[in-house]
Amino acid sequence: MRRIISVLLENEPGALSRVVGLFSQRNYNIETLTVAPTEDETLSRLTVTTTGSDKVIEQITKQLNKLIEVVKLVDLTEGSHIERELMLVKLKATGSQRAEIKRTVDIFRGQIVDVTSSVYTVQLAGNSEKLDGFIQAVGTSGVLEVVRSGVSGIARGEKVLSL
């Protein structure tokens, strides 16, 4: 089952490599990984999406918690949550394609953020399926380049992940 694990990490050199190392050492999957400092400059927030049986996920959270630099973590998929991923995609856009792409971008509530005579650069945010859906809708033949941020997530409601 797919899980989103959100981690508050000491913002120190080497901390990220410990997390990544743990996943490869113990043969766990990383599907996406994002990390950036938080409003508290001593902390980074890291989000990792992974898959595995309940037993594996339990081990992942326990092993992560054992890392000295991991301050706190939460498995967002245990409760209701919001997840978002940002995608920038360059599409071949000439002739009649231009209008068609523009319509598709509007349907997916994306934005065209850069334009040349033959290329549109589209920005799209949403959950991962939505981003996949967009690529499917415009067709892979027109896609020149894709960059995705990986998933970020946050719990719904009053729950917060903080110190």
Partner 1 sequence: MELLSGADMLIRSLQDEGIEYIYGYPGGAALHIYDALFRQDKVKHILVRHEQAAVHMADGYARATGLPGTVLVTSGPGATNTITGIATAFMDSIPMVVLCGQVASNLIGEDAFQETDMIGVSRPVVKHNLSVRHPEDIPEIIRKAYYIAATGRPGPVVVDIPKDMTTPNERYEYVFPKKVKLRSYNPAIRGHAGQIKKAVDMLMAAKRPIIYAGGGVILGKATDQLTELVKMLGYPITNTLMGIGCYPASDKQHLGWLGMHGTYESNMAMHHSDLILCVGARFDDRVTNATEKFCPGARIVHIDIDPASISKTIDADVPIVGPVDAVLKEMITLVRESKEKPDADAIAAWWKQIEEWRAFHGMRYETSPDVIKPQEVVEALWKLTNGEAFVTSDVGQHQMFAAQYYKFDKPNRWINSGGLGTMGFGLPAAMGVKLTHPDDEVLCITGEGSIQMNIQELSTCKQYNLPVKIINLNNQALGMVKQWQDMNYESRHAESYMGSLPDFIKLAEAYGHKGVRIDKKEDLEPKLKEVLAMKDDLVFVDIYVDRFEHVYPMQVARGSMKDMWLSKTERV
Instruction: Answer for the pair 49, 23: CB distance below 8 angstroms, yes or no.
Output: no
Please choose, from the candidates 71, 24, 29, the residue with its C-alpha nearest in 3D space to the C-alpha of residue 48: 29
The residue from 16, 18, 75, 143 that contacts partner 1 (CB under 8 A) is 18
Q: Does 66 bind partner 1 (CB under 8 A)?
A: yes
Burial class from Cβ neighbours inside 10 Å (0-12, 13-18, 19+) for residue 151 reads buried
* Structure letter (DSSP) for residue 118: S
Which region, judged by CB under 8 A, interacts with partner 1, from 53-61, 87-95, 113-121, 142-150?
53-61
Burial class from Cβ neighbours inside 10 Å (0-12, 13-18, 19+) for residue 17 reads exposed
Which region, judged by CB under 8 A, interacts with partner 1, from 59-67, 79-87, 123-131, 143-151?
59-67
Q: Does 69 bind partner 1 (CB under 8 A)?
A: yes
Which region, judged by CB under 8 A, interacts with partner 1, from 63-71, 91-99, 111-119, 134-142?
63-71
Name the minimum Å distance from CB 67 to partner 1.
8
Q: Does 53 bind partner 1 (CB under 8 A)?
A: no
